[in-house]
A and B are shown apart, each in its own frame.
Chain A
Amino acid sequence: MNTRKALLFLVVLVFSTTIYGQSEYQFGILPAINLNKGLKQGYKINFKVESRQTFEQGLFEDDNPFEYDYILTDFTTLLAKKVAYNKTVTVGYLFRVRGDQIVHRSIQQYIWTNNLPRFRLSHRIAADQTFNSQSAPEFRLRYRLASQIPFNGETVDPKEFYVKVNNEYLNQFESGSYDLEVRLTPFLGYSITDKKKLEFGLDYRVNSFLDGPASHRFWIALNYYLSL
Chain B
Amino acid sequence: MMLIPTLSYGQQKLENEVRISRSDVPKIALDFIDTAPFNKKVRWYKEYFLGGTSVEAKTRFNGKRYSIEFDSDGNLEDVEIDHRWKQAPEPVRQRMEDYLKEQFERYSLDKLQFQYSGATHEVFEWLHGRLAASALQLRYEVVIHTKVKGRYKRFEVLFDADGNYIKSAEFIPKNVDNIEY
Contact = CB atoms under 8 A, between A and B. Distances in A.
Contact of A155 (B15, B153, B154, B180): B15
* Main SS class of interface, B: strand
Nearest to B174: A155
Contacts of B153: 85
B141 to A, nearest CB: 15
Contacts, number: 77
Contact of B178 (A42, A88, A154, A189): A189
A113 B178 CA distance: 12
Interface string B136-180: 000000000111001111100000000000000000001111111
B65 A117 contact: yes
A14 interface: no
Given A46-B181, A88-B180, A152 B174 contact: no
Contacts of B154: 85
Interface stretch (B2-10, B16-24, B26-34, B121-129): B16-24
A194 B175 contact: yes
A153 B17 contact: yes
Interface size bracket, A side: 35 or more
Interface residues of A: mostly helix, strand, loop or mixed? Answer: strand
Contact of B179 (A41, A120, A157, A227): A120
B99 interface: no
A157 B146 contact: no
B120 interface: no
B116 interface: no
Given A85-B145, A113-B176, A157-B18, 19 more contacts: A36-B177, A42-B150, A48-B181, A85-B146, A85-B153, A85-B154, A86-B145, A120-B176, A122-B180, A147-B179, A148-B176, A148-B179, A153-B45, A155-B15, A155-B17, A194-B175, A197-B175, A197-B177, A197-B178
Interface of A: 34, 36, 41-42, 46, 48, 78, 80, 82, 84-86, 88, 111, 113, 115, 117, 120, 122, 124, 146-148, 152-157, 160, 164, 189, 194-195, 197, 199, 223, 225, 227
- 3 tightest Cβ-Cβ pairs between the two chains A and B: A153-B17, A85-B145, A122-B179
